[in-house]
């Protein structure tokens, strides 16, 4: 079966974390210049940048009919003077993204080295046919990485709140948690990437407020070289844990990305002794016979947290569903990928271990291939979907290097189920539960609701 990659997040601020083999030899490579300094040095002509973005969209954006309806060429020409006259490079990028936003399509945006998405896309989607020079200049053959601590943040009214911490990595080890407000880094204003440049292999003093109007506290956090692919995989594996409730063992796995499924398999093997983590046919098995008193008991229930940030491929989405439920065959009939290269149809069947005894968590960060997982899970009746609606961001994206070593992400195909596009629609949960962000102190009512739903009653009969 041909593989199609469902790309990464297009519009939401994200962070990831994964270790390269240490800071040695990376000093020269850690040179992504800020967008402001690029503007001051006139390293890229804004008119050329605008024209390159527009031309790339005209040649590659999958919905030609939409471009015609919007009179894209005329609209782009009208916006060009404002881009060229932008007072800063960052503002020029913002104005180009406002133009791209009129397409109202995910997987379509312009990113700079000050964006997490820039590195995530380069590592998971790739640099594209014209990106070899960008990769050589930015990373000196080390692969895409950036300096950071491993925390996602969301800006609300000018304040930066942590809305995700990757399990087992520096921010988590330092005690940063969901809902914390990050005020400063070493006394300077917080920014997702630039605040940590030049600090790989050192620690920074993070000023954090956990309660509204409270005095800030200081956290010392290590700065590491973040490689997105290994970061998400490590966090997924590290997320595995067991929640005890009413005599039941509820397993929990947080899937941060859908670019591979081995981390999900390893996570399940950590918490369920009946689950195979070797290279034999995958799936849940009977627990090994043993007299050891400390042998973990099999799981009674499983919670799959799809509130990650990054897409992947149709293949991996199917593999994740395999790992979640092997005794029913989830069916993605009538799946159609549409684009300028024509149409391709899929009839995908999967076969797998927690049928009727699992729950899946979603929110606005459940996007791309993660939405494919959520759609297949709900359609196949695996269990309840709990949380808030997914992003409705399901297209297939491709990257293109732009002047100034910027990165343009373009939706090159769309995806339909039974003739209905998932783009813009998303997956509606069976039970809607909100998770407030500012000063939440790590509270997760969505996870709590899932545990109550699965293990609120007496322990199931084995």
Q: What is the pLDDT of residue 459?
A: 54
Q: What is the pLDDT of residue 326?
A: 57
The whole-angstrom separation of Cα 323 and Cα 428 is: 22
Residues lower than pLDDT 50 in the chain: 1-44, 278-283, 285-291, 328-332, 346-353, 461-462
What end-to-end distance do the CA atoms of the chain give, in Å?
37
Residue 270 CB partners (closer than 8 Å, separation 6+) = 237, 240, 277
The whole-angstrom separation of Cα 81 and Cα 3 is: 41
Task: Report CA Rg, the chain.
Answer: 22
Domains of the chain from N-terminus onward: 20-139 (no CATH), 150-226 (2.30.42.10), 229-391+426-455 (3.90.226.10)
Q: What is the pLDDT of residue 381?
A: 83
Closest C-alpha to 448, from 158, 219, 243, 159:
243
Alpha carbon of residue 454 to chain centroid: 26
Residue holding tokens 């149709």? 314
Q: What is the pLDDT of residue 15?
A: 32
Q: What is the pLDDT of residue 342?
A: 54
């Amino acid at each position: 079966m041909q593989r199609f990659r469902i790309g990464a997040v297009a519009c939401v601020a994200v962070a990831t974390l994964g270790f390269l083999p240490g800071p040695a030899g990376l000093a020269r490579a850690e040179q992504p210049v800020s967008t402001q300094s690029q503007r001051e040095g006139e390293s890229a002509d804004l008119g050329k940048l605008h024209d390159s973005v527009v031309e790339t969209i005209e040649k590659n954006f999958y919905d030609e009919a939409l471009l015609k309806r919007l009179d894209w060429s005329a609209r782009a020409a009208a916006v060009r003077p404002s881009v060229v006259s932008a007072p800063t490079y960052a503002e020029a990028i913002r104005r180009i993204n406002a133009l791209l936003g009129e397409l109202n399509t995910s997987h379509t945006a312009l990113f700079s080295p000050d964006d997490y998405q820039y590195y995530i896309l380069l590592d998971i989607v790739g640099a594209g046919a014209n990106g070899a020079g960008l990769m050589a200049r930015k990373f000196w053959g080390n692969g895409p990485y950036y300096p950071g601590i491993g925390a996602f943040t969301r800006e609300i009214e000018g304040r930066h709140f942590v809305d995700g911490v990757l399990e087992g990595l520096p921010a988590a080890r330092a005690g940063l948690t969901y809902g914390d407000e990050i005020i400063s880094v070493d006394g300077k204003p917080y920014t997702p990437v630039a605040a940590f440049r030049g600090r790989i292999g050192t620690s920074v003093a993070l000023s954090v407020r956990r309660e509204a109007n409270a005095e800030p506290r200081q956290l010392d956090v290590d700065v590491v070289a973040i490689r997105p692919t290994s970061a998400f995989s490590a966090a997924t594996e590290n997320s595995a844990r067991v929640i005890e409730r009413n005599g039941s063992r509820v397993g929990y796995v947080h899937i941060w990305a859908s670019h591979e499924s081995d981390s999900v398999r390893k996570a399940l093997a950590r918490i369920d002794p009946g689950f195979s983590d070797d290279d034999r046919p995958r799936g849940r098995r009977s627990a090994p016979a043993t007299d050891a008193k400390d042998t973990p008991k099999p799981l009674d229930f499983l919670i799959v947290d799809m509130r990650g940030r990054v897409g992947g491929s149709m293949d991996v989405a199917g593999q994740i569903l395999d790992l979640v439920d092997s005794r029913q065959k989830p069916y993605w009939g009538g799946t159609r990928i549409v684009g300028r290269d024509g149409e391709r149809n899929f009839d995908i069947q999967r076969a797998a271990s927690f049928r009727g005894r699992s729950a899946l968590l979603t929110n606005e960060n459940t996007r791309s291939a993660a939405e494919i997982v959520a759609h297949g899970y709900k359609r196949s009746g695996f269990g309840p979907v709990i949380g808030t609606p997914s992003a409705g961001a399901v297209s297939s994206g491709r990257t293109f290097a732009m002047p100034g070593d910027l990165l343009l992400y373009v939706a090159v195909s769309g995806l339909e189920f039974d003739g209905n596009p998932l783009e813009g629609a998303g997956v509606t949960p069976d039970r809607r539960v909100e998770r407030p962000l500012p000063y939440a102190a790590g509270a997760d009512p969505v996870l709590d609701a899932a545990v109550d739903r699965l293990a609120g009653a007496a322990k199931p009969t084995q």
